[in-house]
Structure 1
């Protein structure tokens, strides 16, 4: 899943490298134009269609901006990208522009690794209200914007409607947890396939907790998942696993396993990022079945976390490079480029003006599956950004996995995860 990252022991190192030089944000707004082309490096995560999108946009930017030349470099997963960025920053060799997975924005900013974009936004009077408010929650640190939404997503429900219809199931559902469990049971009746392949993924768990009426972290920055909603979210997974109606893969390839099971007709439903839409629809077309998309099912309410990456400027650049980096970030997140990325990958259009372009309106009319995640933003919320949350994620995933696969107690899992979380979130 392209939704979260972990830092492990590298978090401690960030406190050491925080002292690396950073120019003052207000001093960076010079308006100076370089005499020679400014060279920038841009690091990004994920390959395939997402990687192609990044490379295509950088090529277009370079053609339109002869005074600024950007080199795009693939760095792997979000985990790998963040670890490499930390190491490069410590070595004073960081890229000028990179991606932060949204839950990491505050950590990078508060450790002095990224520059506030607020002076540049104010200087250019950038219309922040044009960015979808449901995607802006992970952009602010101490009331200043440090990151702009770029390739953003929510988890959605994918349905192999061909398989559903063969089983006599209405492809317009399931809309609730109970209906999802019913569909999973019917799809699994003959033993040849599962209702869904569902890894223990923190992104999904955050959604389930919200749908059950709970929250992950409270306003004071303390764990709040040890609740009735938190337990109900675990039990939702456990009940289907114990009934044999879902497959729960583990390890680094769990997300890929889920996608391959769905693509190969081994599961009829899948929860995954809207960023997988183009890939899944292309495969479905090649293999002769239909795919539809829907909101994640509701329990007490609908609710999903947002995900994906924001663009950030690394700290410590001289004035000319700051201006060039800002020009690149502003262009990459502008209306036309946002619409291009959304059509090319399936990621959300993060600007209202992008959704309203003729290009996107035509896409929604011809392929309504693209609009599901946009409509679902009504129920979206930001991910927790408290320092130490990556370690909380590790603890939760480990404890939930143990509860589901080893028939443990949901309450014991939450108690253990809370104890581990409190040790981190002091």
Structure 2
């Protein structure tokens, strides 16, 4: 008779124990900050293509945002290069695996617009009458078509002339007067060229050709640079393009131009070692070049032919796009994160830590920016060049869905100059290849 009594006792104890546990749970609700609390937050998946130090800056900005939030959790995920990330996006767009926010390089703008998978941020600008007046117009214009802001600019840069001030002094040139025209550039390059040093170089990269054409007011494709309708024909082989290719060809033949190849590190190393005295680089790379050079570095605006009026530069870099096939709450959360990134304080931090422009011009009034410009006055030159840019279809930039492919055609044309190809013939070949690519892309629409 003892066994049933023991069993009954154990069952009674078990019931009491379960009751006590349930009572404790009801009496102790979760408090904010417990480990599983983020599961109740709206998650924003942010795909980006920033690696190395840039990824560290992004991760810190995201962490700071998340620390300020009770309802939103941003998850930054590196997806490789721009080309790799947009390929991945194309695979998952419209599915549950798609990111909430996608960073896309500027030449992917037309592709994203036509994808049918994005929500223009203009929807949120209009909904709350958000003031974009402090956004740099020469940046936002690239991503604005027919009054619609499709994406929010993020990491923005332009090309800039970089030169060795010490070499200028040695050659009897004014180190505070960088060449502003092709004629001045050729004269300076001739004076700077010696057995050990070339006067000038341009990376074999299509972006620089686009920029040098736009600086003269030239267009890249028809249909108002693809902004009045789908472009059907390349026009970069016109007068402005011929001026650019003619400059490169003549200087190469004269021995004052150095063929630096396609690698950014190589051309920067050539400059820092004294092999070249002037070259074009991205504004985002200026501070690193200044820090790593053993001589005084100067910066100047992009030069134009003597007979041309200087129009300015086209913005490069990338912007942030919002997915459309997601919950409204996720879209709103993504917009909150975008607004945070666009704030003056965050943009000031972004500018001084990366070299990219601040999209919010109030950022330049922040103390950390003023301090940075005192140390690196070269940065202010890049900002001045952007703000001095005239608003036009040329400086707004071209929109075509086959831009990455076209850039490579232009690079091939540029490299053919070193083999003696006539500048116009080289451009015409690249333009014809672009026309074929445009025709095929337009047929698929």
Using structure 1 for the length normalisation, give the TM-score: 0.84
Are 1:67 and 2:75 counterparts?
A: no
Alignment of 1:9-408 (within 5 A): 36-89=40-93, 92-172=96-176, 173-189=178-194, 191-218=195-222, 219=224, 221=231, 222-251=233-262, 254-284=263-293, 288-299=294-305, 300-302=308-310, 303-377=312-386, 378-379=388-389, 381-402=395-416, 404-408=417-421
* DSSP-derived class of the 1:260 partner: helix
Q: Greater CA deviation, 382-391 or 99-108?
A: 382-391
Shift of residue 145 of structure 1?
A: 1.6
* DSSP-derived class of the 1:163 partner: helix
Q: Which residue of 1 aligns with 2:9?
A: none
Q: Which residue of 2 aligns with 1:5?
A: none
Residues 141-181 of structure 1 show CA distances to partners (whole Å, capped at 9, x for unaligned) of 45322211111111011122123223332212222212222
Contact 2:219-2:398 at 8 Å conserved across structures: no
Distance 1:263 1:80, change over 3 A: farther
Taking the aligned partners of 1:244 and 1:80, their CA distance within structure 2 comes to: 38
Distance 1:211 1:346, change over 3 A: same
Structure 1's unaligned 5+ residue stretches are 1-33
Looking at secondary structure, tell me which structure has more helix per residue: 2
Contact 1:99-1:311 at 8 Å conserved across structures: yes
Shift of residue 113 of structure 1?
A: 2.5
Taking the aligned partners of 2:85 and 2:192, their CA distance within structure 1 comes to: 38
Residues 251-277 of structure 1 show CA distances to partners (whole Å, capped at 9, x for unaligned) of 4xx222112212333222221111102
Structure 2's unaligned 5+ residue stretches are 1-37, 440-445
* DSSP-derived class of the 1:128 partner: coil
Residues 284-308 of structure 1 show CA distances to partners (whole Å, capped at 9, x for unaligned) of 2xxx322121111232132322101
Contact 1:217-1:224 at 8 Å conserved across structures: yes
Residues 358-405 of structure 1 show CA distances to partners (whole Å, capped at 9, x for unaligned) of 333343344321111211122262221122333332222222321x12
- How many residue pairs get matched? 386
Contact 1:212-1:233 at 8 Å conserved across structures: no
Residues 163-204 of structure 1 show CA distances to partners (whole Å, capped at 9, x for unaligned) of 322333221222221222222223221x22222332222221
Q: Greater CA deviation, 369-378 or 175-184?
A: 175-184
Q: Which residue of 1 aligns with 2:434?
A: 421
Taking the aligned partners of 1:314 and 1:160, their CA distance within structure 2 comes to: 45
Shift of residue 239 of structure 1?
A: 1.3
Contact 2:287-2:376 at 8 Å conserved across structures: no
Q: Which residue of 2 aligns with 1:412?
A: 425
Using structure 2 for the length normalisation, give the TM-score: 0.81
Residues 326-362 of structure 1 show CA distances to partners (whole Å, capped at 9, x for unaligned) of 1111111222111111111111121222223333334
Contact 1:42-1:72 at 8 Å conserved across structures: yes
Taking the aligned partners of 1:76 and 1:249, their CA distance within structure 2 comes to: 25
* DSSP-derived class of the 1:41 partner: strand
Distance 1:244 1:371, change over 3 A: same
* DSSP-derived class of the 2:219 partner: coil
Higher alpha-carbon Rg: 2
Contact 2:156-2:318 at 8 Å conserved across structures: yes
Residues 208-236 of structure 1 show CA distances to partners (whole Å, capped at 9, x for unaligned) of 22344522123252322221221111011
Taking the aligned partners of 1:374 and 1:44, their CA distance within structure 2 comes to: 24
Q: Which residue of 2 aligns with 1:7?
A: none
Contact 2:207-2:407 at 8 Å conserved across structures: no
Taking the aligned partners of 2:53 and 2:192, their CA distance within structure 1 comes to: 30
